[in-house]
Each structure stands twice: as C-alpha cells, then as structure tokens.
Structure 1
Amino acid sequence: MTQQINRRVMLAGAASAAALPVSAASPALRVDGERLRATLEGLSRFGRPEGGTFADGVSRTAYSDADIGGRAYAMGLMKEAGLNPAIDPAGNIIGRRPGTDKTAKPIIIGSHIDSVRAGGNFDGDVGSMGALEVLRTLDDRRIKTRHPVELAIWSNEEGGTVGSTAFAGRLGPGALDHVYYGITLREGLKRIAGDPERLAQAARPAGSIHAYLELHIEQGGILDAARIPIGVVDGIVSIDRFDVTITGFANHAGTTPMPGRRNALLAAARLIEAVDAIVKREPGRQVGTVGQLAVFPNAPNVIPGRVEMTVELRDLSADKVAALGQAVQARAQEIATETGTEMKFHLTEHIEPALATPAIQAHIEAAAKTLGLAFIHLPSGAGHDAQLLAKLGPMGMIFVPSIAGISHSPKELTPWSDCANGANVLLHTLLAVDAAGV
C-alpha cells in the first residue's frame, strides 16, 4: 500500500501547473479557513440534540424542521455573498455568481446539507460550505471568472439524491410517492418550498454545464490511514442490489430430524459467507454486503421456512459488478440444492458508474501540487450528487480525510485544516476549469 501511495504522489507532476491561470497558480491564494469553520459550526446548530454540542452531531433529515432551518441559514449566507439564491421546483437551492462571458455555460459547485439520523457535521456540509467559501474568496480577491459559477445545495441527498436526480431529469414516475421518514417526497418538497407540480422545470439538459465540481469527505479510512490530505476521485461506483427470497419448509424444531430439514436460514447463512468469499477472492476494491435479513416465522421453536435478504455489490467497473453477481447467483443455486431450498434473486437497483473526467482530475492534481498537498487516486464507494451531474457535463470530485473512516455517525470528524485544504484545492481547480476547455 505504501509503495502504491508513494507512486501516486510522485505522479503529481503529471499535470502541469502551467495549465492554471496566473491568479490561481500562486499558493498564496487561499480560502479563509476560520471563516469556513465558523459557517460549519453555525450550520451544526440545526438538528443538534437538545443541550448538545458540535461533537454530538446532527439529525437534519430532509424535509424536517432542522433541514428547513439549515436551509434558511445557508440561504442567508448566500444572500450576504451576493449570490441571490433561489429554490427550484426540486427543492435545490441555487445561487449564481455572474461570469464575464454571458454566453458561457455555468460551472456548478456544491453538495448537500441534509443528514441521516444521528449523523455528523461534515458529510455534505464541507462541500456546501466549502463551495460558499470559495466564492467568498473570489469576491475578497476581486477575481472574476469567465464562466458563471453556480452554488448548488442539493435537496434530500441522503434519501436517494432526490434533488440532483430531478436536476438531471432522471426522477422516474411515481418517485414522489415514496415515503421518507414518514413523509412522501411530494409533501416534503412542498415543505421546503419546492413545487412537485413543476418538477420537470428543474431539469437541465445534457451538455448545459461547463463542469461540476464537488468537495466531500471520503467517508472511508484510506486517506486517514495513509496520512494523505487529498483524494482525487476516479469515479463513483456501480451498484447492483438484489432482493433474495429463500424458501424452505417451516416445521417443528423439536420433532424434525436434522437430515430432513429444509432450513431457509441455514441456506441464508451459507449465502452470506459465499458473498464474502466471492468478493474477496480477486484483487481490487470491490465490496459485497448482505445488510438486511428477515426470517419467517421467526420463532425459537420453528425451523425457518422463508428468509428475505438483500445482496449488494459495488465496484467502479460495472462489468466486474455484473460478474460478481453472476458468481454469487451460481453459488446460490448450489447452496439451494445442498439445503433443499429454493433461492430467487430479483435485481431491484442497478446504478451505472459515474467516472470522473480525466481533464478535471488533472486540474485537481495540479491544484494539490501548487498548494504543496500530497494526493492519491481512489474511487468513491458511496453515492453522491456528482454521479447525477456527470450526466449533464464533465465532473470531478475532491475528497478530504475522515478520521478512522467514520461517517454517518456523530463521531464523524474531519480536521479543520483538512476542510480548508479541500476548499483550497476546490478554489484552484475551479479557476483552472474556468480558464480551460474543461
């Protein structure tokens, strides 16, 4: 691992700093790290446990009172920065900084501020407040960009990238009827001043943006373990998720001999082990997870007759994900024969990978080198709004470390210096992308 990291760092010189404009090439151009910290701490008040502190995390789920309060806070900061924020029909908050070329396509930067229940203060927040800080810094330094720059705070990222999916024109029929934490998406949009009746008007066509850049915490432990401050994201992984039903025969636990049992739970246990073994048997960063299990009739004195479970596979290569899925299903049929059960797989979700644009990756590398920050390349195992924006134009993501790889937890933590590092790389990358073709 160490040799690989060193090799990656040495490759930093592959992208020349000459690609950056003069104003961006100087390491002296930096964001105000203390101001960024203040905005993050201010945002943390919304959804904080009663009587708690920043360290206690937040529950700022989409459409909740805390979400509404956090959105109002963010819009207030955007107004102060002269961005004239507006809420589109999908509930996304969009602010715009004009460019010098009125015909140029916009560069979009941003992330989300909604959280999971009992989440942390960095997931999404660093990218949203970091993007705001970048635009504040441009104003402080009186730096103009050729392209207009839009700051986007996407709605309900944690509930399925709802806002960015609508923005990309990919929100399917019936999606607004889905229930999220007790409220339909339709009613939720109304709560945050969206308009479900005009949802199609939130969509932008493919090719309508110059680029999309997103700063985010890694939500994994690779950067922290390697003591590397910047991750250049290669892409967001493909995901195949299956619902699996295993049918055996429920019978009396005391009177049914062991050889004659058709135990669905035993078959499920073997399948869980098979998923783990199949995913591990070849090199790479692919992952496989059985995260949900329901046993019927779920009684201590009855042999389980049916199990419903999920199998999820992720990798940057959709071909690898498909091959893993085929291998798991082949082994499942062997297990079914061995245990006298029946196994049925139903593909419930297929997400194509969203690969980062190489030219933007090169700009991120050059920005990190200019700032004296080491970097490595890595995939994103989690989904992000960036995977939807990649359908509209070139995309790049910047990762900063998550201590111990902890995320979706009050213990989620990224050092303030790393938050500032990420915002600085975003700043320099934005200027490079503005000056270049991409």
Structure 2
Amino acid sequence: MLQVNLERIKSDILTLAEIGRNKEDRGIYRMAFTDADIEAKRWLSDRIVAADLEHAVDGAVNVSGVLEGSTDQPRVMVGSHIDTVPCAGALDGTLGVVVGLECLRRLKEEGRQLKRTLELIAFSDEEGRFGGMFGSQSLCGHINPERLATMKDLDGVLLQDELRRHDYDPMAALDAARDPESIASYLELHIEQGPVLDRVHKSLGIVDEITGLFSWSVWLRGEANHAGTTPMEMRNDAFMGLADFAHEVPRILEENGSQRSRATIGKAQILPGAANTVPGLVEFSLDVRDTSEVILDDLSSAFRKALSAIARRRNLMFEFEQKSYLAPVGCSEVVVHELMEQANKLGIDFLAMPSGAAHDAQIMGRMVPVGMVFVPSKNGQSHSPAEWTAWADIGAGANVMLNTLIGLADDL
C-alpha cells in the first residue's frame, strides 16, 4: 500500500509552526486574516505550486491544491485549516492541511491519476476570530451580504476591513459557494483535542458522529443587599440560584442525556461583586453538546425547566439568550467503512468515536458526505504550546488518509 513521506510532513509542520510564533511563550499567534495568517497562506500556496499541483484561492481566501482525475465525476476533497487561536500549538488544523498536501504530492510523484479529482483545501477562520467557520460556510453558501458587513472580532475589527487590508474584496466570498453535486465527499484529519485515544493507547480514532451544540447566556436576577443585616431566609441571592443549578446539571444529563452528552458552565459573573453584599445578579454561560438533535432538544427543555423552578424557589427572575446552535452531523457510512477498511489493511488499531468539538467537517457534512480521522493528543492537550502528537501516530493517520483517498477517488 502507498505510504506517505513522514519526514516531509515533519518538515512542513515544523516550518509552518514558526509562522506567527511568539518567542516568549512559544505559542503560535496566527489568527484569521492577521499578517501571520496571510503569510502562512502564501507559504501553503508556494508548497502547492512546488508540488506541481493546480493552485487556487477563492473569494473567502480558502487555499486549494488540485490533482486532476481522469473523469469529470464529482471530486473528493481533503483538508482543514491553518489559522490558530492565540497562543496555539503546532498541529490543530495544520496537521490536516499538511497531510492532505502530502497525500496529493505522493500520488503526483507516483504518477497516479485517479478517476476522481482530488482537492486539498485550507479553510479560512475555522477558529472563530470573526465567528468561526467562515471559509467552509462560504463554500457551502451560508454567507450573505448582511453577515459579511457585520462580522467582527472581539476588538470590534470588521472582517470586511481586514479583507480589504490584504487587498481582498469582501463580496467575493459570496462567489466561493460550490455546487453540492460537484463534491463526492470531504475528509479531514485532526488531532483529537481530548484525552480518550491517548488513555486507551489507540493510534487512530475514526469519527462516526460530530457533536451538535447550543450555548446560552443565562441571567438570574435577585436583590443585592447587605451581607450582615439581611437574614438568610429573607435573601433573594442570585448566586445561590446558580449554585443550585450547578448541582442539577449531572442529574439532568443522566435523566435526559446520553453517554455522549456534555454540559459546561464555563464562565460566571457575580454582581455587584462585593464581599459584603448579597449578590443581586449572576450571568453565566451554558454549553451543551450531544450527537443527537433529539437529545439536544430534550436537554434544552430540561435545563429551562430546572432554571425556572430554581428561580421560583429562590424568588429570582430567570432569563436566557441562545448565543449559538450547531446541529449534529453524522459521518457518511460509506466513508467511515472505507476508513476502517484501510486501517485494518494497514494493521492500525482504531477506535470508533464521536467528535466532541466542531470542525469544518461539521459544516461540510450538511452538504456532502464527510469522514474524519483523529490521532491522539498527548495528555489530551490542545490550543496550547504543549499540544503534540507522536510522529508514529501522525504517520499512521496519514497513511490511512492516503489510501482512503485512493479508494474513494477510484470508486465511481
């Protein structure tokens, strides 16, 4: 079976990791459409051209490399992203792009022309500087003029201004949309970003479902009062409402969720925030995930009922706002089967598992068949300079991807 050139993958990963590297904390700062991100896109474009592959950049500044097939049948796409969060590691997103490039290079070197065209794609802004998934959403036709005009980062910088700063026309992103009939499938290799594969000592995870999620901002309003003069039974303590709810979360997951359910209160603010004042207001976040849309609906109802009951009991007012919603996506049975078959042929032990994080594959999966491969994250670490994966595991994942791409692209 065809094998990747692991040394070349190593070289590309380590070279790309120096673009946007901070010398003090060793983190990578290559956020979407910063100068470092544009430099990385140019680096990738140069590598595509050097590999004698067709090169293109669309209106959303997604970078592509193409290996033409022998037919005009719908193409097979492979990729991820090369933008990062602040103070990132070297592999999140980057690994999928570098491995996708290597797969096309190896086929080009071998003189293999498959029946279907293969396309590498590096999507823009997967990490969410301007809201997330801009590149894949543009390709899937989910971007409109209003969104383009209003998308901005946490510092208030508008996406359209950053695009113009780099001499790109923001409205061109609307032209990045593809015909779903032109794409047979999309594959993505990614680090797991969690501890499961590392703990069970598996070199590979084959994703069967990508989790959906909803996130809320929640307010519990009570009455601020003096901590010394207000008897306990006369308080409308907003923080006690949050404490009650936090203890309810495990019960709600057990009764209304599944083994793949997750719920997290990740941020909370207590106001007025004085040591000698009964809290009159708490604002907190709630992040809820599952691979079933039905279960997400059940959890949403259960959390609303629990918060309403706590508010009545504590004499509080309960409000919430849904900040985001992503529907779960099932991976293609055909693609999953091909991945498993190639892993078995290569003698690689794998685990069928869900993805608990959102990826470009989740956006693509609403339009075309998708598949995902995970490789272990050492100690489950990601989004930090400590993020790493053993080269042997990277090689295993890359070889499964290469031979799966061959299988999918030669099957009409």
Using structure 1 for the length normalisation, give the TM-score.
0.89
**1:184 corresponding residue in structure 2:** 158
User: Which of 143, 151, 164 matches 1:171?
Assistant: 143
* Alpha-carbon distance in 2 for matches of 1:271, 1:173: 40
* Alignment partner, residue 15 of structure 2: 42
**Paired letter, 1:104:** Q
Distance 1:192-1:392 versus aligned 2 partners, 3 A rule: farther
1:386 aligned counterpart, secondary structure: helix
Q: Deviations over 1:21-45 (max 9, x none)?
A: xxxxx3xx10000110000000001
Which residue of structure 2 aligns with residue 356 of structure 1?
331
Q: Return the letter of the residue paired with 2:69.
A: G
What letter corresponds to residue 131 of structure 1 in structure 2?
G
Once the 2 structures are TM-superposed, how far is the Cα of residue 211 of structure 1 from its aligned partner?
0.8
- What displacement does 1:172 show? 4.9
Pairwise CA distance, 1:355: 0.9
Q: Distance in 2 between matches of 1:382 and 1:174?
A: 27
The answer to whether the Cα contact below 8 Å between 1:207 and 1:392 also exists between their aligned partners in 2 is no
Show the 5 A alignment for 1:4-403: 26=1, 29-50=2-23, 56-101=26-71, 103-159=72-128, 160-172=132-144, 174-176=146-148, 177-182=150-155, 183-280=157-254, 283-403=258-378
The answer to whether 1:422 aligns with 2:397 is: yes
- Is the CA contact 1:233–1:379 (under 8 Å) kept in the aligned structure 2? yes
Q: For 2:299, what is the secondary structure of its paired residue?
A: helix
Structure 2 residues not aligned, in runs of 5+: none
The percent of aligned pairs where both chains have the same amino acid is 35
103-112 vs 377-386, greater mean Cα deviation:
103-112
Instruction: Write the letter of the residue equivalent to 1:115.
Output: T
Native 8 Å contact 2:28 2:88 kept in 1: yes
Paired residues of 1:206 and 1:391 also in contact (CA < 8 A): no
Query: Hey, what's the Cα distance between the residues in 2 that align with 1:418 and 1:181?
Result: 36
Q: Tell whether the 8 Å contact from 1:205 to 1:392 is kept in structure 2 after alignment.
A: no
Question: 1:320/1:172 Cα in 2 relative to 1: closer, same or farther (>3 Å)?
Answer: farther
Cα distance change on mapping 1:299 and 1:178 into 2, 3 Å: farther
Which residue identity lines up with residue 42 of structure 1 in the other structure? T
Q: Is the 8 A contact 1:63 1:191 kept in 2?
A: no
**Distance in 2 between residues matched to 1:181 and 1:143, nearest whole Å:** 46
Describe the superposition over 1:292-329 as per-residue Cα deviations: whole angstroms up to 9, x where unpaired: 22222222222211122121110111111111121122
Q: Distance in 2 between matches of 1:49 and 1:181?
A: 21
Q: Kindly indicate whether the alpha-carbon contact (under 8 Å) linking 2:73 and 2:182 is maintained by their aligned counterparts in 1.
A: no
Preserved CA contact (<8 Å) 2:216 2:324: yes
Deviations 1:76-97 (A, max 9, x none): 1111012232221111112221
Structure 1: tracts of 5 or more residues without a match: 1-25
* Amino acid across the alignment from 1:139: K
Deviation for aligned residue 1:275: 2.0
User: Could you say what the CA RMSD is over the residues aligned between the two structures, in angstroms?
Assistant: 1.6
